[in-house]
Amino acid sequence: MIVTVQQHIMFEQRRRHPEARGRFSWLLSGLTLAAKMIEAKIRRAGINDALGSAGETNVQGETQQKLDVYANQALLHCLGVRDSVAALVSEENEEPLVFDRAAETGEYIIVFDPLDGSSNIDVNVNVGTIFSILRRPPGHVGDAILQPGHHQIAAGYVLYGPSTMLVYTTGDGVFGFTLDPAIGAFVLSHEHVQMPEQGRIYSVNEANADSFPPAYSEYFAALRKKGYTSRYIGSLVADFHRTLLKGGIFFYPPTKSHPCGKLRLLYEANPLAFIAEQAGGLATNGRSRILDLTPTDIHQRTPFVIGSHADVTNFSN
Ligand code: AHM
Ligand code: MG
């Protein structure tokens, strides 16, 4: 008997919130629809003129790829038409998209990185979509986006890889679904995912080693002495997914070119930190728990350390 992500969300909703009116499930179905549209485009990327640059730069000053633009439009469309959405925040848009919806209707704020791992798009290496869902407090919308990560009510990612997977949490464990192309549905394949307490892999872009703060370089040397090996894909979702399943630790430290780290707090670090903690792992900015940080800007960056509980604790102490 298969369980699709849609069924799973509805069962979980009924079990945990019998009073729910199905609006949250309907919202998540917008995400899965967009994910399937993006997946279909990526799968044929080499033959449908979807590769390469779109000729624009985004708010981060980074060149937008055609697939970045497509993924962003798919999410904005599939979510924007759901009337439970009060605001959408995307890595690709400088400003949030705020909808004029009553507080009782527009209950949710969704924050996302439409296609993460841009540098890997053109070379047929894994990329991903990351999302985080916040509740909109009554009386607020635009000014309610900057909530600390522990306020997230759901978070997840889609990994477009040899198979396409959706991994999500609503704060009661982590569940993974694999897209079955034969039926076009995400099917439950990983129930109650737990991150190993400690791993044997560390993951960091070592080309930046000359500008890592000493605490990082010292920790990497200690891990090598303990026999750790190294893996780095350069797509956060893929590096995180491996860390989630196999354990170990991923870093994006402060560097010379990115003194505050490169990854974004709201739509990269927070959702993955929520998933990591729900799977028994941990995420910090090198000092403090990611989920405790209060954001000051929607595109704010943060140093990022995430992975197995023991590996992250040993670094952050
Ligand atoms: P992007 O959102 O522009 O794709 O950038 C984020 C990506 C992450 O997926 C990845 O962890 C990181 O950038 C890799 O950066 P670097 O090439 O500096 O190692
Ligand atoms: Mg990104």
What residues are in contact with ligand 1 under a 6 Å CB criterion? 62, 91, 113, 116-119, 205, 234-236, 239, 262
Q: Which ligand is nearest to the CA of 267?
A: 2
What pLDDT sits at residue 189?
Answer: 98
At residue 7, φ and ψ (nearest 5 deg) are -65, -45
Residue nearest to atom 5 of ligand 1 (CA): 117
Q: Which CATH class is domain 5-190?
A: alpha beta
Q: Is residue 275 pLDDT above 70, yes or no? A: yes
Helix, strand, or coil (residue 124): coil
Q: In the block, which residue shows the tokens 């993006």?
A: 38
User: Domain locations in the chain?
Assistant: 5-190, 201-316
Termini Cα distance of the chain: 46
Q: Residue 43 burial by CB count (10 A; 0-12/13-18/19+): exposed, middle or buried? A: middle
Atom of ligand 1 nearest to the CA of 250: 11
CATH of domain 201-316: 3.40.190.80
Q: Is residue 48 pLDDT above 80, yes or no? A: no
Which of 211, 236, 272 for mutating ligand 1's site (highest number of atoms within 8 Å of CB)? 236
Band the pLDDT of 54: cuts 50, 70, 90: confident
| Model confidence, pTM | 0.96
Q: What is the mean pLDDT of the chain?
A: 93
Rounded-to-integer distance, Cα 170 and Cα 154, Å:
4
- Residue 22: count other Cβ atoms within 10 Å of its Cβ: 13
What pLDDT sits at residue 154?
Answer: 95
Cβ(56)–Cβ(64) under 8 Å? yes
| HSE (side-chain half, CA atoms, 13 Å) at 140 | 11
Tokens encoding 227: 């026999």
Rounded-to-integer distance, Cα 208 and Cα 252, Å:
10
Cβ(42)–Cβ(127) under 8 Å? yes
Helix, strand, or coil (residue 258): coil
Residue 147 CA to ligand 2 centre (angstroms): 19
Tell me whether strands 174-180 and 185-190 are parallel, antiparallel or unpaired: antiparallel
What pLDDT sits at residue 317?
Answer: 61
Rounded-to-integer distance, Cα 4 and Cα 84, Å:
22
Residue 20 CA to ligand 1 centre (angstroms): 37
Residue nearest to atom 15 of ligand 1 (CA): 234
Q: Which ligand is nearest to the CA of 58?
A: 1
pLDDT in tens, 255-273: 999 999 999 999 999 999 9
Cβ(263)–Cβ(294) under 8 Å? no
Rounded-to-integer distance, Cα 21 and Cα 200, Å:
44
pLDDT in tens, 118-159: 889 889 999 999 999 999 988 888 889 999 999 999 999 999
